Amino acid sequence: MPETLAAWLQYLETLHPKTIALGLERVAQVRQRLNLQPDFPIITIGGTNGKGSACAMLEAMLHAAGYRVGCYTSPHLLDYNERVRIAGQPASDAGLCAAFEKIEQARGDIALTYFEFGTLAAMQCFIEQSVDVAILEVGLGGRLDAVNVFDPDCVAVTGVDIDHVDYLGNSREAIAFEKAGIFRAGKVAVFGDPDMPAVIADEAQRIGAELWRLGAQFSYTVKQQQWDYRGPRGARSSLPFPALRGSFQLNNAGTALAVLDALKEKLPVSMDAVRRGLVEASLPGRFQVLPGRPQIILDVAHNPQAAHSLAQNLAAMPPSGKIFAVFAMLNDKDIAGVARALDEQIDVWLVAGIAAPRGASAAELERVLRAERVKGEILVFAGVGEALQHARYQAAENDRIVTLGSFYTVADAMRVVAHGVTGTGDG
């Protein structure tokens, strides 16, 4: 068997002919063989955008309350260990390798995808490390996603927008149906967007879940320097704004508080822990503003809804000079929609290829931007590293550089900033 985490990860990529193969039968069989029976509460979070932020805030608030929290998210930016956190720290190489070995021994001839293998390994780690609560972020959709093999005590869907159309459908209603697949009978299902597709309520009623919707069962109000939350089981007043930037983060924070509301008997969380968690939560790559001049902003926005939120954040910042966009995306995303959402904010587009599966070439990005007639200048580079280095050389002190479009894009940018190297665009 592989002996290092890097060797294991390389091996996992060879086990299934498809990168994504939705369905619970395979992972459920292996779970049964491993006898993975968590005895702690499970919170499952889905949504097109915002689920990572909701997970980060829940993790921070529960950690501040003294709970030993397991949190499973994806994808990672730099190190696989980021996906599995226990008590606020990434899982160790040794712990992950030991979990992978147990799964490999149990699976027999059942072919698991990379994500399915990783999901089982995360739960194996959480059980062995005796966490008090586990937060599971849905990888894709919900109904057929590997995390859905574990029954949650509460679920949340942060919102629904068009993304992953090849797997989930090309309408909000079709995608919402897939995301509602994590609902459970007799359990609270939180929906964190006032604009709720009708199928969410239909599925909650059909399954027998208790639906809490933002703007109906729970809500928040903004005051000058603070905000208040009101929910079915209480209120939280005079709260600090989340450390995660953007006005839309209040939707995610409200969603996280509604989850805590639903689980307050099992997992009571004090006001002090809520306040600490809100200001201590961090999520690299989500409107992450790096120190220094010119200012560099990292954002994994890879669909129009996320790009629109990024544009709002940029527009709300104090006036500055030019905005340079280091831009690289995957070719199965709505590149044109992202460009339209950001067009008014960007003065110079520095497009780059991603040398990864489904990576769009720089030429393809340039073609789409020109077809959209974006107002900014367009420059073409082989990789994200070269584009970012050029932006740093050209930008004046008061200019801004926004690196966006995918996790691969932001990961390459992080390497350039951390090591001063020119990235290859290979994510």
**Which tokens is 194 given?**
């006032």
Which CA distances in Å does 235 have to 114, 232, 271? Answer: 41, 8, 10
High-pLDDT (> 70) share of the chain, %: 95
Per-residue pLDDT at 17: 66
Greatest Cα pair distance, the chain, in angstroms, is: 60
The answer as to whether 424 is a domain residue is: no
Q: Reply yes or no: is the peptide bond before residue 294 cis, omega within 30 of 0.
A: yes
Per-residue pLDDT at 246: 81
What's this model's pTM, rounded to 2 decimal places? Answer: 0.92
Per-residue pLDDT at 19: 67
Instruction: Please indicate, yes or no, whether residues 338 and 269 belong to a single structural domain of this protein.
Output: no
User: What would the mean pLDDT of 308-325 be, rounded to a whole number?
Assistant: 92
Give the chain's domain count: 2
Per-residue pLDDT at 165: 60
d(C-alpha 190, C-alpha 259), whole Å: 7
Per-residue pLDDT at 90: 98
Instruction: Please indicate, yes or no, whether residues 316 and 257 belong to a single structural domain of this protein.
Output: no
Instruction: Please indicate, yes or no, whether residues 25 and 143 belong to a single structural domain of this protein.
Output: yes
Model confidence band, residue 22 (pLDDT cutoffs 50, 70, 90): confident
Boundary (domain end) residue, out of 280, 307, 332: 280
Model confidence band, residue 295 (pLDDT cutoffs 50, 70, 90): very high
Instruction: Please indicate, yes or no, whether residues 247 and 330 belong to a single structural domain of this protein.
Output: no
d(C-alpha 206, C-alpha 374), whole Å: 45
Instruction: Please indicate, yes or no, whether residues 263 and 386 belong to a single structural domain of this protein.
Output: no
Model confidence band, residue 318 (pLDDT cutoffs 50, 70, 90): confident
Per-residue pLDDT at 130: 98
Which CA distances in Å does 67 have to 45, 64, 266? Answer: 19, 7, 11
Q: Reply yes or no: is the peptide bond before residue 75 cis, omega within 30 of 0.
A: yes
Is the pLDDT score of 426 beyond 50?
A: no
Which CA distances in Å does 210 have to 92, 205, 413? Answer: 38, 8, 42
Instruction: Please indicate, yes or no, whether residues 26 and 81 belong to a single structural domain of this protein.
Output: yes
Local structure of 262: helix, strand or coil: helix
Boundary (domain end) residue, out of 254, 280, 306: 280
Per-residue pLDDT at 247: 78
φ, ψ (nearest 5 deg) of residue 239: -90, 145
Which CA distances in Å does 169 have to 141, 142, 148, 175, 409? Answer: 10, 13, 19, 6, 26
Instruction: Please indicate, yes or no, whether residues 42 and 128 belong to a single structural domain of this protein.
Output: yes
- pLDDT tens readout for residues 89-147: 999 999 999 999 999 999 999 999 999 999 999 999 999 999 999 999 999 888 999 99
Host domain of residue 167: 5-280
- Which CATH number covers residue 313? 3.90.190.20
Calculate the average pLDDT of the chain. 93
**Which tokens is 13 given?**
């990529």
- pLDDT tens readout for residues 37-92: 999 999 999 998 899 999 999 999 999 999 999 999 999 999 999 999 999 999 99
The answer to which of 58-67, 165-174, 302-311 has the lowest mean pLDDT is: 165-174
Is the pLDDT score of 414 beyond 80?
A: yes
The answer as to whether 46 is a domain residue is: yes
High-pLDDT (> 90) share of the chain, %: 85
Is the pLDDT score of 235 beyond 80?
A: yes
Boundary (domain end) residue, out of 280, 310, 328: 280
- Among 241-245, 358-362, 368-372, the range with the most confident prediction by mean pLDDT is 368-372
Per-residue pLDDT at 424: 38
The answer as to whether 427 is a domain residue is: no
Per-residue pLDDT at 168: 67
- Which CATH number covers residue 112? 3.40.1190.10
The answer as to whether 425 is a domain residue is: no
The answer as to whether 350 is a domain residue is: yes
Instruction: Please indicate, yes or no, whether residues 16 and 76 belong to a single structural domain of this protein.
Output: yes
User: What would the mean pLDDT of 5-34 be, rounded to a whole number?
Assistant: 88
Instruction: Please indicate, yes or no, whether residues 77 and 152 belong to a single structural domain of this protein.
Output: yes
The answer as to whether 342 is a domain residue is: yes
Instruction: Please indicate, yes or no, whether residues 247 and 363 belong to a single structural domain of this protein.
Output: no
Instruction: Please indicate, yes or no, whether residues 220 and 334 belong to a single structural domain of this protein.
Output: no
- pLDDT tens readout for residues 247-290: 789 999 999 999 999 999 999 999 999 999 999 999 999 999 99
